[in-house]
């Protein structure tokens, strides 16, 4: 049975999607499409962690010091914040994690422990999440990226590109078993109105093929 919160979330998403008609992504070059990514604004979101789901409204902003902040208001939990500090830099000393980052990291660690695997993937995912957001916000951060129809490069990071008529997907391998994927959907008015970030297992027989999903529906 759906909770009232889940039903409301579905109604909001279906209503918002009915307000626009998505453009055909395959009509455009990848280097043009990546300029339509959205990383600042507000909307509704859904976080999935090892089969648990959290629905929330959010505000995302890029501060003057290049900190990116996602403030998520999760029913029954209150506001939790994810901060990626100084995205101008590839790496920073980010030992102090915020509430949403801790929730994501702990969810990954709990799963890996249950599978008797190393917990290092949790830290790696947060690092790669930072890389994804640097790519998404590259124009605001004045970072250079180079994209073809097959791949996008930013520094030494290489993302494999897949484009269908309605979805642009960028993938990067994290290990022999897992990959991170960013998808952009619902392209209208030079903006992708939906952004998804997934931590996938490459093993199809894995009982938990998607360990982390962060879906953002932008207004």
Mind listing the pLDDT tens digit for each residue in 26-39? Answer: 888 999 999 999 99
**The two structure tokens encoding residue 204:** 């199809």
pTM (2 d.p.): 0.86
Instruction: Identify the pLDDT of residue 66.
Output: 97
**pLDDT bracket for residue 10 (50, 70, 90):** low
Cα–Cα dist 153/34, whole Å: 12
Mind listing the pLDDT tens digit for each residue in 33-82? Answer: 999 999 999 999 999 998 889 999 999 999 999 999 999 999 988 999 99
Instruction: Identify the pLDDT of residue 205.
Output: 72
The residue that leads in pLDDT, 25 or 19, is: 25
Cα–Cα dist 72/60, whole Å: 9
Ranges of each domain in the chain: 24-218
Q: Which fold has domain 24-218?
A: outer membrane lipoprotein receptor (LolB), chain A (2.50.20)
């Amino acid at each position: 049975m759906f909770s009232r919160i889940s039903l409301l979330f579905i109604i909001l998403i279906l209503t918002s999607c009915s307000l626009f008609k998505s453009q055909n992504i395959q009509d455009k070059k990848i280097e043009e499409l990546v300029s339509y990514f959205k990383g600042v604004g507000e909307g509704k979101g859904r976080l999935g962690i090892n089969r648990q789901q959290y629905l929330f409204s959010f505000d995302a902003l890029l501060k003057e010091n290049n900190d990116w902040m996602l403030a998520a208001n999760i029913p029954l939990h209150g506001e939790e914040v994810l901060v990626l500090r100084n995205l101008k830099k590839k790496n920073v000393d980010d030992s102090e994690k915020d509430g949403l980052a801790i929730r994501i990291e702990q969810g990954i660690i709990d799963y890996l422990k249950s599978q008797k695997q190393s917990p290092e993937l949790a830290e790696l995912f947060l690092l790669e999440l930072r890389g994804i957001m640097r790519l998404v916000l590259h124009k605001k951060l004045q970072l250079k990226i180079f994209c073809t129809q097959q791949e996008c490069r930013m520094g030494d990071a290489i993302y494999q590109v897949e484009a269908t008529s309605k979805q642009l997907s960028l993938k990067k391998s994290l290990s022999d078993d897992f990959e991170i994927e960013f998808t952009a959907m619902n392209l209208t008015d030079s903006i992708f109105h939906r952004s998804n970030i997934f931590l996938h297992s490459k093993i199809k027989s894995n009982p938990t093929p998607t360990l982390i999903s962060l879906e953002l529906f932008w207004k």
